[in-house]
Chain A
């Protein structure tokens, strides 16, 4: 299976080459003007809106393009390097495209104690990708990430915006096939589906 690498979620082996998106100018502003204004209205100092606006840009393209950074810089009266220094500090921003589903398995100690390495192993066998790689069809990227505040329900992973907790091999299979088929899976956490502490292991 062919692979390309993803750069998100790791500061250890950063690939900071930028990809250029469709031209700069007012792309975001034209598309999300209302939302941008709403974001700006929350802060007395413009620069505070930087991370929220980068999220808007990332939602738009799946990653933050250079043009978007320039547009946001202009919106906030920052220089592009000021945007760049901030965006590269945080792991959640992608500077180039990642797979449609970004599987992020927590590998920190607490999840590792309850089998996160096994989960990564399953994914490797099922999808043929190791952390840092994307499937050839561009559907899945895999990253091993640090603690996601779900240590009581490990092993777990985050796929795009959703958490999937108490993973078993079965559950993983169902999640992957759900994702392929419908783009999401009912096995994700919430709303209000936090496993009860007392019956912690119950499946929903």
Chain B
């Protein structure tokens, strides 16, 4: 983005005049006029290191050749990049770089996309080197990454990326001089975030992916740009395929919201789609067993049963649950199918697991269903507050924006997270934090209350507020005086001064963004916490200021889309409440039909209705309630009572195994559509392979069923649905670059400040007392691992190499206390149930707490009790107090 405050300088490059902002590097200025200066060590994401010396250029009035990658432009500078002297220099540096290079291009995976190879051609490099070449002994590096150090040109881009961008610092240049090689720690295999950044940024074939070793030459591959299907960050990636085979994923610098960065899931997780267990044919239950059938039969059967049930019990005997992994087109059509073709408002999606908490809060306080900020605003923020995000593991790329803002742009970071700031070779956002509050996941609200209390007592409330909304300010003040600093300190173990310091920083910030994520949103305090964060922003006068806002992070790739498409019982497309007469009217007209009654059931209630027998049929699309919901919700039991359970799935999950009809669907690698990421950016999804077997995109199934149920829809392709979506809601017009974010709706905020705040204010401002935990017990909850997303990723062979089973993460001190070593098996018993698992010692887990990855959570479901938020109907796992015992 051109920044108008930076003066522009004019210089010439090979005689061409170029105007660039002061401070631009010569190599970048040259790029502007189409002059590519050869380089290895330079990368726009990294600080210049000028070690390869390849980019030498002549600059008038400078006695020696200069490195274009590290020299900033100056007014009147005259640069020559193609004189004989410069060419000779390039050729000679190349000769040096090639001196010790094995020249093994025929067996190198980089062949065809290698800078060294390209420059060698360009300079028709010949070598006079006739001495003995340096040879490194080969050492095992990692399960997913291969190194061939003889090919290394020692540009250190990998090491610098790992440190500067990722803040991981897992790679070490080891030794000195020509014998420098890239290693992890001694002879140990690499242990890191496996973002694949080193593979992507290596200009030669020294670091490559083992997933695609020796498989291909770049020119043999087909490339498709699409959006990662794992988390709400919505990274753009290029999927490379050979026929139906998925070969490699990468992301070009500058591409997408991720600017070319990926995480382990994006880079190594793509094989989930081609897992051999993929369902390839429709299945139907005959004599108690699921057997293969044809699409015609399966769809006819489903339509027939629905027709019967509807006739007998009405539309409300049918419900539907869809995954936030589906495309917008599918989510839209699903809810339309339910509401129009079946005539029920029992519609829900995985956004219900937590994202909805933030949505309701935003709707209530600022009148939007989306962020009012963008990733760019995160980069430009001067104060960032993270509350329960577990950002590195859940939303790694948003995490990179936060890291960049803090490390390169000097934003102040406040974190209310459960982690301890411990350094290891997995980045930890708490390490970058200026004000870190380590609070257990179930009590995060206490941290927000601490900040709020400090804002009130330090008089940091924006002066305009109290005169305009005295009742609000009074109510909040009173509520916060209900507990003392001592109470807070007893509950959190944190000094009042820490809150005061952080609150002052926050109040003084000009661009303040609060991010929250699943740790808060999926907890019992998800809704209350979101509201108090919004209160915090209002009291300090930030909420409606440009560059400021509340940014809840979506865990599944299209949870935000699920909300915006109306795949929730309370919302129509566009985040409109369905009980609002004007909205009902609008959609009735649009859909040319009466809408079903507004009081639909959400997931929890649907299960209850099924249990009681009033719900007869359920569509489950890409969701697996049996393996994801707390045992006391008795999901399996409820589903077994249904007359008809239809599952649309990639795999025969625990839930699908109970179904009457299982319909195989295409994964996001196989279909066209759009995803909406956390920030509300709508991006195109494109197929890179054909649907596996007979699988079909979900939307085709909904469309077919609509027609079978007598609702005429005419969708030839998913684009036709997108057209309809554009008519139904704003924000889906262009799939362009930066979305212009929504603005806080002043009327909604006014309403909130006058009366909207009132219900449950006192309740949500109540301190959560520290749980007394009997000696010898731990507080256990679910968490997300960086190497997985939901359960889909557990089918990816790459990610399974990093983590193929659930392990309970515990603190080293606890491990010592329980006399446990990494990998030991333990039995956990809570009041609700028990499980046996393996432990993994992780220093950042606070003492006395432990977490289990929910991706492998089936076995742990029995430990937990649950709660349902009365307003948002979000079911949440309560953390469990467990006793732990070693077992053989």
Contact = CB atoms under 8 A, between A and B. Distances in A.
Nearest to A16: B174
Interface stretch (B165-173, B712-720, B768-776, B878-886): B165-173
A4 interface: no
Given A11-B179, A17-B186, A77 B172 contact: no
Contacts of A113: none
B423 A78 contact: yes
A21 to B, nearest CB: 12
Interface string B796-837: 000000000000000000000000000000000000000000
Nearest to B426: A79
Interface in A30-83: 66, 69, 73-74, 77-82
A71 to B, nearest CB: 13
A18 B186 contact: yes
Given A77-B423, A79-B170, A84 B179 contact: no
Give the interface centre of A12, A14, A79, A82 by most chain B CB atoms within 10 Å. A79
B185 interface: yes
B175 A11 contact: yes
A85 interface: yes
A12 B179 CA distance: 7
Contacts, number: 58
A66 B186 contact: yes
Contacts of B173: 85
Interface string B414-442: 00000000011100000100000000000
Nearest to A90: B176
Give the interface centre of A11, A16, A17 by most chain B CB atoms within 10 Å. A16
A81 B423 contact: no
Contacts of B271: none
A17 B175 CA distance: 12
A193 to B, nearest CB: 33
Interface string A183-202: 00000000000000000000
Given A84-B183, A84-B185, A79 B175 contact: no
Contact of B176 (A66, A81, A88): A88
A-side binding surface: helix, strand, loop or mixed?
loop
Give the interface centre of A11, A17, A69 by most chain B CB atoms within 10 Å. A11
B183 A81 contact: yes
Contact of A89 (B168, B175, B184, B424): B175
Contacts of A77: 423, 431
B175 A81 contact: no
Given A16-B186, A17-B186, A17-B187, A81 B177 contact: no
A78 B424 CA distance: 8
Interface residues of B, number: 21
B192 to A, nearest CB: 9
A14 B172 contact: no
Interface in A8-33: 11-12, 14, 16-18
Contacts of B176: 11, 88-89
Contacts of B187: 16-18
B174 A82 contact: no
Given A18-B187, A80-B185, A74 B423 contact: yes
Give the interface centre of B159, B168, B169 by most chain A CB atoms within 10 Å. B169
Interface string B181-199: 0011111000000000000
Contacts of B169: 78-79, 81-82
A82 B183 CA distance: 11
Nearest to B134: A12
Contact of A81 (B172, B179, B431): B172
Contacts of B171: 81
Interface in B141-165: 159
Nearest to A13: B179
A156 to B, nearest CB: 24
Contact of B184 (A14, A74, A78, A81): A81
A153 to B, nearest CB: 28
Interface string B374-412: 000000000000000000000000000000000000000
Contact of A84 (B174, B177, B423, B431): B174
Interface string A79-121: 1111011001100000000000000000000000000000000
A82 B176 CA distance: 14
B213 to A, nearest CB: 24
A96 B186 CA distance: 12
Contact of A85 (B174, B177, B179, B424): B174
Contacts of A11: 175-177, 179
Nearest to B169: A79
B622 to A, nearest CB: 38
B812 to A, nearest CB: 9
B173 to A, nearest CB: 5
Interface in B272-303: none
A84 B172 contact: yes
Contacts of A17: 186-187
Interface string B214-243: 000000000000000000000000000000
A64 B19 CA distance: 54
A89 B176 CA distance: 5
A80 B174 CA distance: 12
A88 B174 contact: yes
A46 B730 CA distance: 53
Interface of B: 159, 168-177, 179, 183-187, 423-425, 431
Given A18-B186, A78-B169, 20 more contacts: A12-B179, A14-B179, A16-B175, A16-B183, A17-B186, A73-B423, A77-B431, A78-B423, A79-B425, A81-B170, A81-B172, A81-B183, A81-B184, A81-B425, A84-B183, A84-B186, A85-B159, A85-B172, A85-B173, A89-B176
30 contacts: A11-B175, A11-B177, A12-B179, A14-B175, A14-B179, A16-B174, A17-B186, A17-B187, A18-B186, A69-B185, A77-B423, A77-B431, A78-B169, A78-B423, A79-B168, A79-B169, A79-B185, A79-B423, A79-B424, A80-B185, A81-B170, A81-B183, A81-B185, A81-B425, A84-B186, A85-B159, A85-B172, A85-B174, A88-B174, A88-B176
